[in-house]
Structures are given as structure tokens and as C-alpha cells.
Amino acid sequence: MTTLRQHMRELYHGDTPRAIRFRTGLLTFDAVIIAFFVVSPFIERSTHYYVVDFSIGGVLALDLAARAWAFSSVRAWIIRPIVWVDLVVLASLLAPASLANLTFLRVLRAFTLVRSASFWSIIGGGRWAGSHVQDVTQAGTHLIVFVFVMTGFVHATFAAKTSAFNSYLNSLYFTMSSLTTTGYGDITLDGRWGRILSITMMVVGVSLFVRLAQVLLRPPKVLFPCITCGLRRHDPDAVHCKACGAALAIPHDND
């Protein structure tokens, strides 16, 4: 058992080629989960849907159990916020009928995925870690996750109270019109809490849009730690560190 646990720790936390291939498979599984979560509100609840739903839930349960066993301490593992998110996701997978209102939490896996160091150490062979590509991907994912989380929250909270939110598409339409501050006025949230939620969506949505625009327009940086002060990001043509003035020798090709 000790040898098996060490093997699991090596697969989940090691940097050997076998561990990299294993975690690449897990990332592929995460991508499948996210894709299923995004399209699930638009899929008819047939037998095939529940087969896929329960199959993903079973694999996720095994993955969580393996992660807990491979972690240094189960008690330290269980108090991590992302673990609780995964447990809620698992519960909504295993009980889709009774926990349907928690569906919107599933897309939070996209947020944890792009913020995972192992994700960027694997994708592109690690060459995108700390790069402009990572910044753009994270900023875009934050916006997308917020859109789907708010859409799910609006649909779960107001669908039974307001006839305008009788479909997921209408909730998504309202969310996007609020985030962009377009405000057509054809679909609105009633009551004090509806207005507070609308204001929150506008403020946070605009902030995320601005953040994405900043990342897209900002000149790309290269990842090259300064040996003096440790500043990691520099302009591609920098010869001195802007923080401490130390000389840099950033590898580049002469055009």
C-alpha cells in the first residue's frame, strides 16, 4: 500500500515523463467535463444524457479519491476550496435531478484549470507558462466563467418567479445584455435583489471586459528571471532589468 501511494503521488505531483503523460490525460478529461457542463443546459434529458452524466461522475469520484490519497494529508486536502467545488460538482453529477440548480457551479472547473500550474507546465511543453498566451487565456476564461456562473445563478433563482426566464437561453441573453450594459429592457429582474444582482453583473462584467482588453493590448513579455532581483517578465528586447538595472541576456534570434 505504501508503494502504491508513492506511485500515485509521483503521478499527480512528479515531473517524470510518465507523470506528465498522466496529467495530460487528466487535463483532457477536465476539458471534456467543461465541454459537457457548457452544453448540458441545451441537451434533452434522455437516457443517453444520464449515461454520460453518471459516467463522468464516476470517473471524477475516482480521481478525487486518488488525489486525496496521493496528498500528504487528507485533512489538509479536504479544506482546500477547490476540493469543495469539485465535491459540489460531483454531487450535481450524481444527482442531476435533485441538484439541477447547482449546474452553473460546474463551469468553475474551467477557472481552476487555467490557473493550475500543472496545466501550463504541460500545455505547449511549458513554453507558454508565464507568457502573454497564459495572460490572455486566463483573462478570457475568467470572463467566460463569470458569464456562465451568473447565467446559471439567474436561471436557478428567477426562472420560477419570472416567466421571461423560462429558458436557459433567455437567462444567457439577459446576462450578456447586462454585462455589456446594453440594457434593452425587454427582460429584467424584478424586485430589490434583482436590481442589486443586475448592478453587480454590470460592474464586475465591465471590469472583466476591461481586464481582457488590457491583456490583449499590452505588449507581450518574455519569461526570463533576473538573477539579481528575481523579476520574471521583461520586454523581449530588454538588455537591463527595469526593477534593478542588472544586465540581462535574454535569448533571442536576430532578424
Dist CA 170 CA 163 (whole Å): 10
Instruction: Answer whether residue 3 shows pLDDT above 60.
Output: yes
- Between 84-98, 165-179, 195-209, the lowest mean confidence (pLDDT) is in 84-98
Query: pTM here?
Result: 0.71
* Domain 130-220 fold: Helix Hairpins (1.10.287)
The strand pairing partners of 247, in sequence order, are 240
Domain ranges of the chain: 1-120, 130-220, 221-255
Instruction: Answer whether residue 99 shows pLDDT above 70.
Output: no
Dist CA 86 CA 14 (whole Å): 22
Q: How confident is the model at residue 102 (pLDDT cuts 50, 70, 90)?
A: low
Q: Over the stretch 127-143, which tens digit does the pLDDT of each residue have?
A: 777 778 888 888 998 89
Question: Which of 95, 204, 99 shows the shortest CA–CA distance to 146?
Answer: 204
* Summary mean pLDDT of the chain: 82
Q: How confident is the model at residue 62 (pLDDT cuts 50, 70, 90)?
A: very high
Residue 17: its pLDDT value, please? 80
Backbone angles phi, psi at 90, to 5 degrees: -60, -40
